[in-house]
Amino acid sequence: MRAYRRTLLLLVITVLAACALGAGAASAATTCDLYASPSGSGSGSGSLSHPVATVQQLDWALSPGQTGCLLSGTYGSLSTDHVLNNSGTAAGQITITTAPGATANPPHLQVVAVSGPGYRAGLLDAASTRQPGMVVLTDLAPTVLAWRGQTVPSDIVGSAITRSGRGATAPAIRSLIGQDTQAQVWTSTHTIFFWTYALLDAFACIGIGLAWWGAQPSRRRARAARWRISGTVLAAVPAGSFLANLVPWWQFSHPALWLYGLTVIWTALIGALALGGPWRRDPFGPPGAVAAVTVGVIGIDVITGSRLQMGTPFGLSVLEAGRFYGIGGEAVGLYAVCGILAAAWAGHAVLRRAGGQRGRAVLAALAVAVFAVVACGWPQFGGKVGGTIAMVPGFILLIMALARVRITVRRVIVILGSGLVLFLVFALINYLVPATGHSDIGVFAGNLLHGRAGGLLTRKVTSMVGSLAVNTYSPVVPVVIILIGLTLLKPAWFRVRVLPRAYAAEPLMAITLAMMWLVAVLGWFADDSGIIVPATALPLALPLGIALLAGAPLSDDEAAGSGPAVTGSTVSGQIGR
């Protein structure tokens, strides 16, 4: 252990400028003894006004216990070898890190290198990110404590930095640069993408309605057919954007064009599959197929490491959102909404084909529900708090309707807490069984058991409330959510005739649309992303709902009892006293 400590050398080398969070933390904790800058001089003294020019010069100029700081810029290229031979001592390590305030606009990821026993050629890993070659600043504290043989507090943020294999150097470095490229594309295109998506939704809803305006049966059928097609295709956009990551677009020239071009291609393929499959005449068919594909893509991706979500518009941004695995705040709402519709489609299809055998229909819907919840909430997969709390009540109420179990207000109140119960079960298992791996929910369980969860809960509530002030339009989202909920519950108030007609034709539509709304609202209050959860779910949920309603029979005669019955034909009718 003494020899280990004497030879220990920690080198945190920033090749790219630090991201905003990392730079802020470094600024608060770092005191620089010497500086380097790509514009420095080989004969520089190492002061802030006369920095040295290379990382190697900075390394050799530092004495044990000193900190060298890298000013903004790029130090060499892929072919440049940064050979660091200076060594600190157990009592005085040498650290090279980002200079306080040395940020770039826009911010970038930073590169960290560790030299010492157990850290030969390879990539750095950490359980906090679960992404190869990616660690975060908060991982340094538990890592250094472990190196020095000291106890790591159970409530510390971050996890120990470890090493994994990496193969050849050049491809590994290109992969790391690709991670930063993904983050830059997300940052620069994210807002534009969502505005474009919202405008396309508006055109599909309003434009088609105006273009085929009229009460004549031919007009109504033409309008419904186009709404069904456009709603189904637009709802396929999120799944298409995730599948775009199957191709390494971040390694190509013009990566943003590649990302969104691939998104369009995948969206068209999913839409064509949904509209052309054997379920195309089923009112739940095309939108249900899109929902099932979306749940399958996101769920399988989360189980296998969340690679498809990195840098995609609905996915994870390592620079801004700070989440590296599982389902991000911008995808959890649409995932929950699609989970409900996919389960309803599965149960509805079995009811139609199996002669009304409700046991089989319940099992089909339950299978979708179990997959969606486990992929989202199990610690080794998604470990997502808000998604688990939001989805479980929605699935239970939907399955009760399929089974024709009476839904009362009292039962609804009890069921609303079922997601929280399951989350606590997952969290305790994760905390008590180390084999389930490191996750945030396990850390929360430990803090809860030791009476230290108050601060974390306060931060999450503050973040949720603060989401209402993310931008000028954030306060509008709750109004839209409330109006949609009232429209589903009391369509006569708003003279929306299509809803009662669709509910009469396909009674399962009432509870399905209600649960799609409910999981989005529960996600709003259960997830620290707050109003972002339903706000990012709306561009998918609206075309899905339109496509679903457009598939219902149009005339009153056609509507009479054509679909499998459930407990009531309206939302309020399915909730008794």
Q: How far apart are CA 158 and CA 137, in angstroms?
A: 8
State yes or no: pLDDT of 422 exceeds 80. Answer: yes
Task: Output the pLDDT for position 162.
Answer: 87
433-454 burial, b for 16+ CB within 10 Å, e for fewer?
eeebebbbbbbbbbbbeeeebe
Structure token digits, residue 226:
């186009």
Q: Residue 94: pLDDT band by 50, 70, 90 thresholds? A: confident
3-state DSSP assignment of residue 333: helix
3-state DSSP assignment of residue 74: coil
State yes or no: pLDDT of 58 exceeds 50. Answer: yes
Q: Residue 10: pLDDT band by 50, 70, 90 thresholds? A: very low
Domain locations along the chain: 291-576
Task: Output the pLDDT for position 375.
Answer: 96
Task: Output the pLDDT for position 265.
Answer: 98
Mean pLDDT to the nearest integer, 480-492: 92
Task: Output the pLDDT for position 480.
Answer: 92
Task: Output the pLDDT for position 79.
Answer: 62
Q: Residue 20: pLDDT band by 50, 70, 90 thresholds? A: very low
Contact, 158 vs 136, CB < 8 A?
yes
The sign one gets for the Cα dihedral 374, 377, 379, 383 is positive
Q: Residue 136: pLDDT band by 50, 70, 90 thresholds? A: confident
Amino acid occupying residue 18: A
Prediction pTM value: 0.83
- Cα of 167 vs its chain's centroid, Å: 29
State yes or no: pLDDT of 272 exceeds 70. Answer: yes
Worst-scoring range by mean pLDDT, 83-92, 223-232, 352-361, 490-499? 83-92
pLDDT tens digit string along 295-338?
Answer: 999 999 999 999 998 999 999 888 875 678 889 888 999 999 99
- Full 3-state SS string of 183-238: HHHHHHHHHHHHHHHHHHHHHHHHHHHHHCCCCCHHHHHHHHHHHHHHHHHHHCHH
Contact, 293 vs 232, CB < 8 A?
no
Q: Residue 435: pLDDT band by 50, 70, 90 thresholds? A: confident
State yes or no: pLDDT of 39 exceeds 60. Answer: yes
Contact, 345 vs 292, CB < 8 A?
yes
